[in-house]
Amino acid sequence: MTWSRSEKTIARQAFDAALKRELHELMQEAKEIAGQIKQPSDLWDLQEYLTQRRKEIDHKYNYRYSHLTQVFGRLLYETRVSEDELRGFSEDKLKTIRSLAKFLAEDAA
Amino acid sequence: MTWSRSEKTIARQAFDAALKRELHELMQEAKEIAGQIKQPSDLWDLQEYLTQRRKEIDHKYNYRYSHLTQVFGRLLYETRVSEDELRGFSEDKLKTIRSLAKFLAEDAA
């Protein structure tokens, strides 16, 4: 799939916004979890949780054009991007993105 | 080096007390660091710090009799155990422990 200049702009914006939201969510979550640490095992639970979330986020937010429809498919499924934010993508891209989101939803059900 | 029954009791107590203190310190530290998270890089700094401290603690608190004088040498150097807590160890063990603590102090200077 080729990405036009305007699609690239939309993609970058939607991608960055989703990543920013996810990181801010995790920042709040980390504060809450840390605030509730009562014993050493809670500390290691936090360490493992952050390590696992970091890997997951690094893996999920892969800004390569060859991967972007998959990335947005997952973000749409996770409601981390809205269809509104993807407005301006070609119909074939939106179709691929929606169908992956649908697949993930059915897979999780 | 062989460890008498009473030395083993003293060792276990001093070891557990030092570990408990270090973990409680780290719990407080993690709460403080998490409370000050302002941007995503702070989050990953916390994740890296906890991962590194976990490795270090796992490595440092190695309760094998063949390693215990080294362990206590380091803990004494770090003032995580006091000479008082080691009272009852044989003089040769104390000498080894003190000399390792001294070596580490000089090495760090």
Tens-place pLDDT, residues B16-41? 999 999 999 999 999 999 999 999 99
Contacts with A64 (C-beta within 8 Å, 6 or more apart), sequence order: none
- Residue A50 CB coordination number (10 Å): 23
Residue with tokens 């986020």: A57
| Backbone φ and ψ of B99, nearest 5° | -75, -30
**Region B45-74: what's the mean pLDDT?**
96
Contact B86, B94 (CB under 8 A): yes
Q: Using an 8 Å CB-CB cutoff, list chain A residues near B46.
A: 30, 50
Q: Tell me, rounded to whole angstroms, the distance of Cα B83 from its chain centroid.
A: 14
Contact call for B50 and A54, based on CB within 8 A = no
Tens-place pLDDT, residues B7-17? 999 999 999 99
Q: Using an 8 Å CB-CB cutoff, list chain B residues near A31.
A: 34-35, 37
Q: Which residues of B touch A (CB under 8 A)?
A: 23, 26-27, 30-31, 33-35, 37, 39-40, 42-44, 46-47, 50-51, 54
Q: What percent of chain B has pLDDT over 90?
A: 97
ipTM for this prediction: 0.86
Contact call for A27 and B37, based on CB within 8 A = yes
Residue with tokens 């008082």: B84
Contact call for A46 and B43, based on CB within 8 A = no
**Region B59-80: what's the mean pLDDT?**
96
Contact B30, A43 (CB under 8 A): yes
Smallest CA-to-CA distance from B7 within B76, B80, B68 is with: B68
* Token couple for B89: 């160890």
